Structures are given as C-alpha cells and as structure tokens.
C-alpha cells in the first residue's frame, strides 16, 4: 500500500502540441531510481485521431535495457449541444532496466503523423546504487533476537560466484558455482540472460529445475541458500580471462501488514561479481612428441578379447583412458599400423561423470587377422600434463602377442582392404640401350631445309608468270584455233577410220573437212576458204613440196571419190587413209 | 691418277663405315660394363663416344646415369641437362633430372612458377626441334600451294575462301616459326652452367675481395651473363646475381 504513495506520476514532458488532431506526452514513473529497480517510460498519444498514429518505435537508449512494452487505450465521448466529440488516448509503456549508475538522458522521441512531426522533450534520469526505496524487511523467520538487523537489500540478498581455483593451466577444468543467499521470502526467480563464457569451453554440471532452498550460515547469519548454477569451464586460450557475472531477477514477497493485506511482490535484479582467472600455457620443455592436449590426471589400460585366433577371425582391442580432465577435448593415441592385422576404424565413446570433469574414454578397435603368424600389438603410450604435479606424464599399456593360425576360410580382402601400390624406394631410370648412336640432325641447321623454303617461295613468282602467259594466250584467237585444231582433226580422223573399216564413201568427206579445217586452224587461214584458196595459202608457208604434193593429191582424190561415180575402191581407201595419216604426222612435226 | 682417286674415296667410305660400327661396338661394351656395375669403365667408353663428336640425347642420358652411379651429382645433372638440350621431350632424362635434383643441397626452382607458365613450358618442351621444323615447313608449303592454286585457277572467281584459309595458315605459320626459332636459339645458346665444385661463393664483383653474396652447392644450375678473366657473372633461378670462379662450373653446351 505504501509504495503507491511513492508512485507519483511525474509529468515531465508535456509538450502539448495544439493541433487539430493529436497531442503527445511522455513521462516516467520516477526520475531517480536504484540500479536494481526498473523504470517505466510511457508515451501517450491523445486526440480524436490518436488511433491512426502508428505505434512509436523506441530508439536505443544508452545505459538502459528495454525489457518489454505494453500498450493500452481509452476513449471518452462527450456530447455538447448535440455535437459529439471523441477523445482517444493510447499509451505505450516501456520497462527499462538501468545498466549502470549515473545520470542519463532519455532522448526525445519523434513521431510522424500526417506530415506533422511531433518531438517530445528529453528526460533526465538519475540512477543510484542500491534502491531508492527502503528494502523490505527480511523475512520474520530470519529475525534474530539480539542481532542488529540490517535493512539493506545488499546485505540480505546476495549472489556469489565461487571458483575452485584461480590459477590454472590451459585446458585444466575450473568449476564455478553461483549461489544465491537470501533472507527474504522469494516468490520467483529467473535468469535474465545467459552469460557469455568467452575463452572457455563450458560443460554445465548443474542447473536448477525448481526453487529449493537450504538453510546455511554465511558471515555469521543464517540464509536461505540455493545453488543457481554449477559449470565446468575448460580454458581454451591463455592469459587473463574473466568469468562473467550471472544476472538474476528476484521477486521478493513483501510482508503483509494487516489481515486484509495479502502483500505483493517486488522485482529486483542482482548480479554476481566477475572473477578474473589467470591461465598459463603448458610448459614447452619435456613435452612428449605424442602429447595431444590431454590435461588432468589419467590412467590408461588396454585389453584384447583374444590372443589366439584363426585367419579371417576378428577380435576386439580396447584402449581405456580414465581420469579427470578435459576428456572430451583430446585425441586418442594413434595405433601403429601392423601388417596383416587390419584395424577397423575405432568406435570412440566418452563417458563423463556427473561432475563433468572425470570420466572414461573408451576406444574400441575391431581387428581382423589377415595372415597366419605371430604378431605383436605394441605397447601404446599416452602422455598428459598432470596439473597437480605440474609436469608431463607418459603412461604405457602392455603389449600383446597375437597368435594367428590357419583358418577354415582364406581371407578374401574386401575392397577397403585393397591398397594403392606403394613406392618402396626410388632410383634413377636405367640407361638406354638403343645402339643407334648417331648424331641427331637438327633440320634447322641444314642448308637443305632452308633451300626448300626458298624453292617453295620461288613457286609463287613462277606461278604468277605462268598465269600471266595463260592470260595473254586466252585473248589470242589464233592461238585458240591452233589449240583446237588438233581436237577437230582427231574427231574427223576417228570418223574417217570408222569409214575405212566400213569401206564407205563418207570417208572422203570426213577426210576433206577434217584436213581442211585442221590446216586452216593450224596455219591461221580464215575458215570457210575454198580448197584452192587454202592450197595457195599453204603454199606461202614453209611447207616442204613433198607434203604439199601429198595434200594436193589427197584433196584431188577426195573430190574424185565424191563427185565421180565408182571413184573409190577398197584398196584406194586403205591407201588414202595411209596418205592422210602421213600428212597429219608431217604437219604435226612442223613447227608453225 | 683416276685409279688412285677412286681408291682414296673407297678408303674414306670404309673408314666412315668402320668408325660407325666401331662406335656401336664401344657403345655395346659400355652397356655391358654398366650392366655389370662397372660404372667407371662404362663412363669412360661413353665419354670416348662423345669425343667422336656425336651429339645424341640417349648418349648424354647414359653418361648422366654413370655419373650419378659414381656419386658425381653435379656432372650427372650437367649431362641430363645436355640430353634435354638436344631433345627437350626426352622423358627419361627429365625424370632422372628431377630425381637427381632431390640430392642437391640447394632448392633449384624459382618457386614462383604459376600454372600458365609451367603449362606453356611443358607444351614448349613437348615439341622437339625437328618436329617444329617439319610442322613449320608443312604449313609453309600448304600456304604456297594455296597461293599458287589461287593464282592459277581462281583468276576470275571469288577469292574469299582461299584467302580466309591462307590467313589462318599464315597465323599458324607465324606461331610455329617463332616457336622453332626460339627452340633453335635455345639449342645453340650456351649461357647456362652447372656447378661441379662442391660449393662456390658468389661475390659482388670479379674477385675474392668483394662482398659475399651467396653460397651455392654442387649441381646448381644458373645463367651465365658475363665473363671477365677467370670470373663469371651468374644469375641464380631465384634472381640472385654474383661472380663465381670459372673453374667451378661447366657450361651446358653440345
């Protein structure tokens, strides 16, 4: 009841913007608060159209943490002279938790509505240590007769963090316990946030499930004590690390003063103090080669299920590392490869005890015997850093003799048992025994090679010259006729020879036409000249008289055969064909 | 007179043939010596063939092998490099060289060979000098053939197609000509050396009095840039330059 007397609503920011529509106000429930208390910050929007304004967004406020928001709205209607006016008020209330002591300012809030911008005034808040209100008196149960009772909250409500050691080696576990000490009736408890254990690897040992207090004496007074959290921390880096503080929200039930007063609860936030831990690097000297980051104190043992087996059979080989330390974080020792004993990839299981720092790591290999013989599974050594003796310790397992006998089944290697051919040694390649020891010829050094280039290159001008000649002749009609003469003659000679075989008078026709056009073309005489003209033209040329006579002779015979009846006979045709051939060969021999 | 001339030629011919068969015999003996692990004798015989003036990649390869067996790493590297100089695509020599290089004290590659460069180098090495010469001349004769055909038969016709093909061929000719000329230059250039002494100190000038720049060990291959009296300016594959004594190394020459 009393507390309501303190709740004075202070209207700080009363920037009443006199607009047609809305007005905005902000206020807090108090301007001076304790660090363990909460501040209520309200934004109130009122006016006829207040319902249209978007909910304001709270900016990040330095040194305060927003824990949540609630909103409410109310409306009133009034009818004056038959005119109805509506008044709507929307308020948003934020719960803010101070982060540290000092004087801070809640910045102005800007709200936009219909192109109008409303800005509220900043509010100054003073945050002090402890509480602004007197703490409620401790529970009656703790009242001691003669003792001077302190009413300070911090004397009656404590959260203490305790570690088992402050100077540790890397990977050496630390156990931190957070304990709540209270002399109040506690209605409820909750963690406000998960602390971040930077630089540690954490394993929670204990987290409470329900409120469970035990009475304990601390500092000469009785307290209700509850273990809030117990965590094993394994430092992963070296140097000075801090175990962060745990934050708790505690609801304390206040005492009732009268029969009708059932009391109420009040919320406080308490934190434990952070603890600095000094973490040392493991010493480098005497560090064993097979050291794999195991820190603590361990035992190692090995067992085999069998020592006498048959080829193709399998047995299990188990390594067991037990003790306390960072069991989860180190690699198990590596088994050397043993020929003809195939170790299937192991099954590694780590069983950690409730205290989170001790347990057993079991490495179980299934081993298949591949060949007959005596094999030794050697002693396996495991090294760790003993934190109590502050030195490296190496422990060995015993070795086993495995006797493999001929089995019923021959071992058939599965595909996984196949291996790539391994290089067993390297050497230079053998000498070359090719006896053809000739000096290798380099073509580029040879004159002949470059001569080919020159010859090839010469082909271009040669072909150009040739092409030019061809072009010149192509425009020369006489040349073309000369070229064609042989073709025409061939054609007629063929005809003539056919007629000779058939003993036909057409032989003479073919012979005359063929010969005269051949001569005309060959001697560049215009075509269609008569036989006389042809003969006189031929006469001008350098044709020997003998041939000339033959030509005249054959032309005459042709005329006779064609125009005189019975002018041809079998013998004549043969003779004339012979004569014709002679003429042709004579002329073709001549250079014209 | 004429008789004596013909006898003389006959003599020359027989001497030549004899010399060849003699070389083959020596070679066979050397092979036998090598197989019976008499490496020193095999080496002497192989070297005598080399003295005949025979330039052959296989011969150099075998000499390199002998030197390796006799633990003369430097000379073995020298001869494998010679074999590769004669025939850049001599695969056994390349493999052996790589192997022998693992026995040297100094790391020999420049270490900064990127993918494109090593690919280019491999491609370049995979062509032998004669193959390049033949490819070049084939492309050249194709071009000539095309040009001649065009001149002779495409007189009045459209010349686009032959011109296009010719252009492409000229492009290839250009590439292969450059490649073969580069190869030819590599073949005759004698600017590389292999260190034969156990170690040598590189100075900043041609005398002991200068500052020590580096120390290299047997088998190191480097470029020779200049010579002054008894000293040579060399450049190591990593880019360091310095003067070393001329008698500590031998040039890779044929």
Domain of residue A251, CATH code: 2.60.40
Residues A250 and A339 in one domain: no
pLDDT (tens digit per residue) in B20-53: 677 888 888 888 888 888 889 889 888 888 888 8
Considering only the beta carbons, identify the residue of B24, B144, B148 that sits closest to A437.
B24
CA distance B209 to B231: 13
Number of residues that this document lists for chain B: 254
- Are A123 and A155 in the same domain? no
Q: Which of B59, B68, B140 is the closest to A453 by Cβ? A: B140
Work out how many domains chain A is built from and give that number. 4
Among A375, A402, A417, residue at a domain's last position: A417
Q: Quick one: angle between helices B160-188 and B129-153, nearest 10? A: 160
- Looking at every residue in chain B, the average pLDDT score rounds to 84
CATH of the domain at A498: 1.20.120
* The predicted structure's pLDDT at residue A246: 85
- The reported pLDDT for the residue numbered A409 is 54
Which residue among A433, A442, A464 places its CB closest to the CB of B187? A442
Q: Report the helix count and the strand count for chain B, using DSSP H and E.
A: 8, 7
Q: Where on the phi/psi map is residue B141: left (φ > 0), alpha (ψ -120 to 50), or beta?
A: alpha
CB contact under 8 A, B23 and A437: yes
Judged on CB neighbours under 10 Å (0-12, 13-18, 19+), A80 is exposed
**Cβ <8 Å between A429 and B92:** yes
Structure tokens at A162: 């305790």
B61: chain A residues, CB-CB within 8 Å: 431-432
A364 alpha carbon, distance to own chain's centre: 35
Residues of A in contact with B95 (CB under 8 A): 428-429
CB atoms within 10 A of CB A522: 21
Task: Give dist(CA A65, CA A100) in Å, integer.
Answer: 10
Please provide residue A578's backbone torsions phi and psi, each rounded to the nearest 5 degrees: -60, -45
pLDDT attached to residue B77: 92
Distance between CA atoms of residues A270 and A245, nearest Å = 10
Q: Name the interface residues of A facing B (CB cutoff 8 Å).
A: 426-435, 437-444, 449, 452-453, 456-457, 459-460, 463-464, 466-467, 470-471
Least confident interval from A329-338, B162-171, B188-197: A329-338
Has residue A448 been placed in a domain? no
Q: What tokens does A399 get?
A: 């070795």
How many cross-chain Cβ pairs, A to B, lie less than 8 Å apart?
A: 94
Domain membership of residue A445 (yes or no) is no
Residue A142, pLDDT score: 64
Grouping H, G, I as helix, E, B as strand and the rest as coil, residue A523 is: coil
Nearest to A270 by CA among A7, A579, A37: A37
Which residues in A lie closer than 8 A to residue B139 (C-beta atoms)? none
The verdict on residue A113 lying in a domain is: yes
Sheet with A39-47, edge to edge strand ranges: A10-13, A22-28, A39-47, A83-98, A64-80
* β pairing state of A157-163 and A110-113: unpaired
Does residue A449 belong to any structural domain of this protein?
no
Q: Which segments of A387-527 are extended strands (E)? A: 391-396, 400-405
- Report how far residue B91's alpha carbon sits from residue A367's, in angstroms, rounded to the nearest whole number: 45
Chain A contact for B246, CB < 8 A? Answer: no
Which among A102, A27, A26 is positioned nearest to A64, based on CA atoms?
Answer: A102
Looking at beta carbons, which residues of chain B come within 8 Å of A434? Answer: 58
Measured CA to CA in angstroms, residue B130 lies from A135, A456, A471 at distances of 103, 19, 41
Dihedral angle at the C-alpha atoms of A490, A492, A494, A496, nearest 10 degrees?
A: -140
- How many CB atoms are closer than 10 A to CB A326? 22
Total residues found in chain A within this entry: 592
Angle at B244 between CA B242 and CA B246, to 5 degrees: 140
Flag whether residue B129 sits within 8 Å of chain A, measured between CB atoms: yes
What is residue A356's predicted lDDT score, i.e. its pLDDT? 73
Residues near B37 by Cβ (< 8 Å), separated by ≥ 6? B69
A463 belongs to a structural domain: no
Question: Is there a single domain that holds both residue A161 and residue A270?
Answer: yes
Pairing relationship of beta strands A247-253 and A221-235 according to DSSP bridges:
unpaired
Question: How high is the pLDDT of residue A262?
Answer: 64
Cβ-based neighbour number of residue A40 at 10 Å = 16
What does the pLDDT average to over B136-152? 90
> B16 CB contacts (<8 Å, ≥6 apart)?
none
CA distance A382 to A360: 14
Q: Say what percent of chain B tops pLDDT 90.
A: 20
Whether complex ipTM tops 0.85:
no
- For residue A454, the model assigns a pLDDT of 93
Q: Which of A430, A118, A374 has the alpha carbon at shortest distance from B39? A: A430
Residue A66 within any structural domain of the chain: yes
SS3 B96: helix
**What is the sign, positive or negative, of the torsion defined by CA atoms of A34, A37, A40, A41?**
positive
Q: Which residues of B touch A475 (CB under 8 A)?
A: none
CATH number of this structure's domain B192-251: 2.30.30.40
**Interchain contact, A442 vs B129, CB within 8 Å:** yes
**3 state DSSP class of B28:** helix
Count Cα neighbours of B176 within 13 Å in the Cβ-side half-sphere. Answer: 21
pLDDT of residue B14: 57
Task: Give the model's pLDDT for residue A249.
Answer: 83
Mutate to test the interface with A, among B25, B130, B169, B189 (most CBs of A within 10 A): B130
Sign of CA dihedral B215, B216, B221, B224: positive
Cα separation, A411 vs A351, in Å, equals 36
In-domain check, residue A107: yes
A255 and A158, same domain (yes or no): yes
**Which tokens is A368 given?**
């298949």
pLDDT in the model for residue B51: 86
CA distance A298 to A386: 8
What is B2-101's CATH number? Answer: 1.25.40.10
A456:B141 CB<8 A: yes
Asked whether the beta carbons of residue B61 and residue A464 sit closer than 8 angstroms, the reply is no
**pLDDT computed for residue A196 by the predictor:** 82
Cβ of A437 within 8 Å of Cβ of B129? The answer is: no
**Does some domain include residue A44?**
yes
For residue A425, the chain B residues in CB contact (below 8 A) are none
- CB under 8 Å to A434, separation ≥6 — which residues? B58
Are residue A402 and residue A303 in the same domain, yes or no? Answer: yes
Cβ–Cβ < 8 Å for B86, B57: yes
Search chain B and give the residue with CA nearest A452.
Answer: B137
pLDDT at B144: 92
Whole-angstrom distance, CA of residue A46 vs CA of residue A25: 8
A314 and A267 in a single domain? The answer is: no
Sign of the torsion angle spanned by Cα atoms A179, A64, A42, A134: positive
Structure tokens at B77: 């590297």
Rg of chain B over Cα atoms, rounded to whole angstroms, equals 24
- Using a CB cutoff of 8 Å and minimum separation of 24, what contacts does A238-242 make? A238/A170, A238/A279, A238/A280, A238/A281, A239/A278, A239/A279, A240/A276, A240/A277, A240/A278, A240/A279, A241/A198, A241/A199, A241/A200, A241/A276, A241/A277, A241/A279, A242/A274, A242/A275, A242/A276, A242/A277
Q: Which residues of chain A have pLDDT under 50?
A: 1-3, 5-19, 146, 411, 413-417
* Closest C-alpha to A580, from A546, A561, A545, A555: A555
Sole residue written with tokens 């002991």: B208
CA distance B133 to chain A (A): 7
Does residue B110 have a pLDDT over 70?
Answer: no
If asked whether residues A255 and A359 sit together in one domain, one would say no
Q: Say whether both A10 and A119 belong to one domain.
A: yes
Asked if A160 and A192 sit in the same domain, the reply is yes
Q: Which domain holds residue A158?
A: 151-280
A116 three-class SS = strand
Angstrom distance (rounded) from CA A314 to CA A407: 12
Contact state of A466 with B152 under an 8 Å Cβ cutoff: yes
Q: Which residues face A100 on adjacent strands?
A: none
Task: Looking at the structure, tell me whether residues A262 and A304 fall in a common domain.
Answer: no
Beta carbons of A435 and B54 less than 8 Å apart:
no
Residues A274, A301, single domain; the answer is: no
* Separation of CA A414 from chain center: 34
Within A236-357, strands assigned E span 239-243, 247-253, 265-271, 275-280, 295-304, 308-310, 314-325, 341-343, 347-352
Quickly tell me which residue has 């010969």 as its tokens.
A515
Q: State whether A429 and B87 contact (CB < 8 Å).
A: no
- Check residues B105 and A522 and name the one with the higher pLDDT: B105
Residues A171 and A267 in one domain: yes
């Amino acid at each position: 009841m009393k507390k309501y007397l303190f709740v004075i609503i202070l209207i700080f920011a009363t920037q009443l913007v006199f607009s047609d529509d809305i007005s905005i106000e902000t206020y807090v429930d108090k301007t001076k608060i304790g660090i363990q208390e909460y501040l209520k910050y309200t934004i109130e929007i009122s006016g006829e159209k207040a319902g249209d304004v978007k909910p304001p967004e709270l900016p990040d406020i330095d040194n305060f943490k927003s824990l949540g928001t609630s909103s409410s709205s109310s409306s009133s209607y009034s009818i004056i002279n038959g005119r109805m006016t509506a008044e709507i008020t929307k308020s948003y209330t934020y719960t803010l938790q101070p982060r540290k002591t000092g004087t801070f300012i809640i910045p102005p809030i800007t709200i936009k509505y219909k192109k109008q911008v409303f800005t509220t005034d900043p509010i100054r808040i003073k945050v002090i240590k402890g509480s602004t209100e007197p703490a409620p008196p401790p529970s009656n149960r703790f009242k001691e007769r003669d003792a001077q009772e302190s009413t300070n909250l911090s004397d009656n409500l404590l959260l203490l963090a305790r570690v088992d050691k402050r100077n540790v080696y890397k990977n050496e576990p630390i156990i931190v316990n957070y304990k709540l000490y209270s002399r109040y009736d506690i209605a409820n408890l909750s963690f406000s946030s998960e602390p971040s254990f930077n630089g540690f690897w954490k394993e929670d040992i204990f987290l409470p499930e329900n409120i469970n207090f035990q009475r304990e004496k601390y500092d000469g007074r009785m307290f209700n004590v509850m273990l809030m959290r117990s965590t094993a921390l394994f430092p992963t880096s070296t140097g000075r690390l801090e175990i962060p503080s745990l934050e708790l929200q505690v609801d304390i039930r206040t005492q009732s003063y009268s029969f009708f007063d059932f009391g109420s609860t009040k919320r406080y936030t308490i934190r434990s103090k952070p603890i600095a831990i000094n973490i040392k690097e493991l010493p480098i000297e005497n560090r064993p080669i097979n050291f794999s980051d195991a820190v603590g104190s361990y035992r190692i043992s090995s067992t085999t299920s069998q020592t006498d087996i048959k080829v193709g059979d399998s047995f299990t080989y188990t390594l067991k590392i037990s003790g306390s330390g960072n069991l989860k974080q180190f690699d198990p020792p590596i088994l050397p490869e043993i020929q003809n004993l195939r170790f299937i990839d192991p099954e590694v299981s780590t069983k950690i005890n409730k205290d989170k720092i001790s347990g057993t790591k079991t490495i179980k290999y299934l081993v298949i015997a591949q060949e007959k013989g005596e094999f030794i599974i050697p002693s396996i050594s495991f090294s760790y850093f003993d934190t109590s003796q502050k030195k490296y310790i190496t422990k060995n397992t015993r070795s086993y003799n495995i006797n493999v006998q001929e089995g019923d089944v021959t071992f058939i290697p599965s595909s996984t048992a196949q291996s790539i051919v391994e290089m067993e040694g390297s050497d230079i390649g053998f000498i070359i025994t090719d006896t053809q020891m000739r000096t290798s010829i380099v073509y580029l050094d040879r004159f002949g090679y470059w001569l080919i280039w020159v010859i090839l290159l010469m082909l271009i001008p040669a072909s150009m010259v040739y092409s030019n000649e061809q072009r010149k002749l192509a425009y020369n009609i006489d040349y073309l006729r000369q070229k064609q003469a042989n073709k025409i003659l061939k054609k007629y000679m063929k005809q003539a020879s056919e007629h000779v075989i058939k003993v036909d008078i057409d032989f003479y026709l073919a012979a005359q036409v063929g010969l005269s056009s051949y001569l005309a073309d060959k001697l560049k005489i215009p075509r269609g000249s008569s036989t006389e003209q042809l003969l006189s033209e031929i006469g001008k040329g350098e044709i020997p008289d003998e041939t000339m006579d033959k030509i005249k002779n054959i032309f005459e015979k042709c005329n006779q055969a064609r125009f005189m009846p019975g002018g041809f006979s079998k013998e004549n045709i043969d003779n004339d064909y012979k004569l014709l051939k002679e003429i042709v060969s004579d002329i073709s021999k001549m250079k014209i | 007179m004429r008789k004596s001339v013909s006898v003389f030629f006959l003599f020359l011919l027989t001497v030549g043939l004899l010399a060849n068969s003699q070389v083959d015999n020596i070679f066979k003996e050397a092979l036998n010596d090598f197989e019976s692990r008499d490496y020193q004798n095999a080496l002497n015989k192989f070297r005598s063939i080399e003295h005949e003036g025979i330039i052959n990649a296989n011969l150099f390869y075998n000499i390199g092998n002998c030197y390796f067996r006799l633990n003369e790493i430097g000379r073995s590297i020298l001869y494998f490099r010679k074999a590769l100089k004669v025939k850049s695509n001599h695969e056994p020599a390349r493999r052996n060289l790589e192997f022998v290089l693992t026995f040297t004290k100094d790391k020999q590659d420049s270490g900064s060979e990127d993918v494109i460069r090593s690919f280019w180098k491999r491609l370049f090495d995979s062509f032998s000098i004669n193959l390049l010469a033949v490819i070049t001349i084939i492309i050249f004769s194709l071009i000539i053939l095309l040009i001649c055909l065009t001149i002779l038969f495409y007189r009045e016709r459209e010349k686009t197609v032959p011109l296009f093909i010719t252009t492409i061929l000229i492009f290839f000719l250009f590439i292969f000509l450059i490649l073969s000329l580069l190869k030819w230059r590599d073949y005759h250039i004698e600017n590389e050396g292999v260190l034969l002494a156990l170690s040598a100190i590189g100075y900043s000038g041609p005398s002991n009095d200068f500052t020590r720049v580096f120390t290299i060990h047997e088998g190191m291959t480097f470029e020779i840039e200049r010579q002054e009296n008894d000293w040579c300016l060399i450049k190591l594959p990593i880019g360091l330059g310095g003067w070393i004594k001329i008698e500590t190394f031998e040039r890779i020459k044929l």
